[in-house]
A and B are shown apart, each in its own frame.
Chain A
């Protein structure tokens, strides 16, 4: 198995807070890695380091052997890393179809392409592709309404569609089911399982243990910026340190 992502020795300090404390992490191809941990454990910071939003103080992130640290977010995305944010980052003033067509365009045309000859109305292939992904998420009916008018759960699904249309090599999901109803959560789990079958590598941050245990191949537990445990779901479940730091809160 090839290593897709290799995080080695990453440290990040925000003032007096050690947000990430010597984090080492490997993600293998096709694997779904779940990162869990209490609030403020550094989970989102770790993802932000991976996509270039935050530069680590020390350490590096390697993606398929290529160093990502210090690169621009758009370069990292072009390399094949897509991310779903904790609060959906979508184009609220544009309609759903356009929202999904934009990432498809970036996949096809690269970081910058001055094209005023083509008409969006005639980009049939891009349109069809975008529509296909909207259908996957049951959003095709609303394709001409503004993305800003969607419910919170639908906004998340739209953002997920925007990431998937790029066929990323690595998908980072920051609490993909937060704010969704039980029904939506279940359908999202089904969807993520389907993606998993296609062999897409994923890192997922999630508080919902049902989601974590039904998707993850490997779980990493973060607390105060450091990895305190990692292993298969069963190993982690039975780890006393984890129960104390995280799961314990819920069972208490």
Chain B
């Protein structure tokens, strides 16, 4: 396994931080360097990195992680409504509340493993989603979603700041959290989150998680109690999801139940597998790729397609547009599905797995041409 030394960690963190902070620069040729999308990259990156701590290291596949995303969002918006528009308390509340939810859901779900664990988490997620829509309307504001109001309490803000005209904006001690400042706030948290995930992966705790994935029976007879290890991993990844949810509310202060729906839970699974489960960078790549394609493909509609293929004769144009249009706009999930299948079939280790494999083959070919048939993996 590829554990890294202190020096290696530092180098990796420097490169990673530079890459994240310079995203507005190197993503502009791809047409992706605008704040809204960059914020999404960072936020869903955090979500995926956290999810990977559970799924990638321990192999437990949760199908209900969007619950924690939703809880984080609700907690953050309530923090805006009750206390202050400053984002720090909102983020802290988001993490704490999602941690509590993760402890409860994890405690019950982790009594089972494999598919039963996945089903239990899915059941919890759907329960929470339905509760948010119905019984919990006083807290979640049901279908409308939780929004800021002009006469919200904002107890702390009321003490220090004169209420201005209109709805106040989320801020970090006065810096508005929309646009690029919002992105950099998320980016810094992503870097911190990534560092923590790196520490987990290279620590004795992380090794125990990997061992649970490999052989839980042996873990027991080796003197480890896997239950608290699993619960810790579940809570940590739930808290990452809560942080991501809170940041969604930071950049756009509203929270709705649809954030908890199973499609949202499924999306983070896709991101992780697409990029490469168990790798550090993989889930981030997956998150970026999915959010990028979602943005590009879903923005196309028939008229734009007709324009794009206007150089073709009319009859051809109609045929081509007819063929492509199911894959764009609302139908972009079809594209995602196809992409996902291609990756699963041809690159079982995800994008990072594929690249690593290719790299190893290249290096091996150059160095030791005789030992090619030595190892099979």
Measuring CB to CB, which residues of chain B are less than 8 angstroms from any residue of chain A?
Answer: 1, 3-6, 9, 196, 199-200, 202-208, 210-211, 213-215, 217-225, 228-229, 232, 375-377
B102 to chain A: closest CB distance in Å? 15
Kindly supply a per-residue 1/0 record for chain A positions 100-128, scoring 1 wherever the CB is within 8 Å of any chain B CB and 0 otherwise. Answer: 01110111011111111111111100000
Tell me if A120 and B221 are in contact (CB < 8 A).
no
Kindly supply a per-residue 1/0 record for chain A positions 77-97, scoring 1 wherever the CB is within 8 Å of any chain B CB and 0 otherwise. Answer: 110001101000111111100
Kindly supply a per-residue 1/0 record for chain A positions 135-156, scoring 1 wherever the CB is within 8 Å of any chain B CB and 0 otherwise. Answer: 0000000000110010000000
**A51 contacts chain B at the CB level, 8 A cutoff:** yes
Tell me if A91 and B375 are in contact (CB < 8 A).
no
A100 to chain B: closest CB distance in Å? 11
Q: In the bound complex, what is the Cα–Cα distance between A119 and B214 (angstroms)?
A: 20
Instruction: Choose from B5, B196, B205, B223 the contact partner of A106 (Cβ within 8 Å).
Output: B223
Tell me if A106 and B200 are in contact (CB < 8 A).
no
**A74 contacts chain B at the CB level, 8 A cutoff:** yes
Instruction: Choose from B202, B223, B229 the contact partner of A119 (Cβ within 8 Å).
Output: B202
When distances are taken between beta carbons in the complex, the residues of chain A under 8 Å from B232 are 114
B278 to chain A: closest CB distance in Å? 9
Given contacts A116-B205, A121-B6, 17 further A-B contacts (CB under 8 A): A74-B221, A90-B218, A93-B214, A94-B210, A94-B211, A95-B1, A98-B210, A102-B207, A106-B223, A111-B224, A114-B232, A115-B204, A119-B3, A120-B206, A121-B5, A149-B375, A149-B377
Q: In the bound complex, what is the Cα–Cα distance between A78 and B200 (angstroms)?
A: 24
Q: In the bound complex, what is the Cα–Cα distance between A166 and B222 (angstroms)?
A: 9
Tell me if B375 and A145 are in contact (CB < 8 A).
yes
Tell me if A146 and B377 are in contact (CB < 8 A).
yes
**Which bracket fits the contact residues of A?**
35 or more
For B208, B213, B377, the residue with the greatest tally of chain A CB atoms inside 10 Å of its CB is B208
Tell me if A74 and B225 are in contact (CB < 8 A).
yes
Tell me if A120 and B3 are in contact (CB < 8 A).
yes
Measuring CB to CB, which residues of chain A are less than 8 angstroms from any residue of chain B?
Answer: 51, 72-74, 77-78, 82-83, 85, 89-95, 98, 101-103, 105-107, 109-123, 145-146, 149, 162, 166
When distances are taken between beta carbons in the complex, the residues of chain A under 8 Å from B206 are 116, 120
Tell me if A89 and B218 are in contact (CB < 8 A).
yes
- A-B residue pairs in contact (CB < 8 Å), sample of 28: A51-B221, A73-B221, A74-B220, A85-B221, A90-B218, A91-B210, A92-B214, A98-B207, A98-B210, A103-B223, A105-B204, A105-B207, A105-B208, A109-B204, A112-B225, A116-B196, A116-B199, A116-B206, A117-B199, A118-B203, A118-B204, A119-B3, A119-B5, A119-B6, A119-B9, A119-B202, A120-B206, A123-B204
Tell me if A121 and B3 are in contact (CB < 8 A).
yes
Instruction: Choose from B6, B199, B211, B223 the contact partner of A77 (Cβ within 8 Å).
Output: B223
Tell me if A102 and B3 are in contact (CB < 8 A).
no
Q: In the bound complex, what is the Cα–Cα distance between A107 and B222 (angstroms)?
A: 8
When distances are taken between beta carbons in the complex, the residues of chain B under 8 Å from A92 are 214-215
When distances are taken between beta carbons in the complex, the residues of chain A under 8 Å from B213 are 93
Tell me if B204 and A113 are in contact (CB < 8 A).
yes
When distances are taken between beta carbons in the complex, the residues of chain A under 8 Å from B218 are 89-91
When distances are taken between beta carbons in the complex, the residues of chain B under 8 Å from A114 are 205, 232
Q: In the bound complex, what is the Cα–Cα distance between A51 and B222 (angstroms)?
A: 11
Tell me if A93 and B221 are in contact (CB < 8 A).
no
When distances are taken between beta carbons in the complex, the residues of chain B under 8 Å from A103 are 222-223
10 smallest CB-CB distances across A and B, nearest first, come from A77-B223, A106-B223, A91-B214, A111-B225, A89-B218, A73-B220, A116-B203, A112-B228, A93-B214, A121-B5
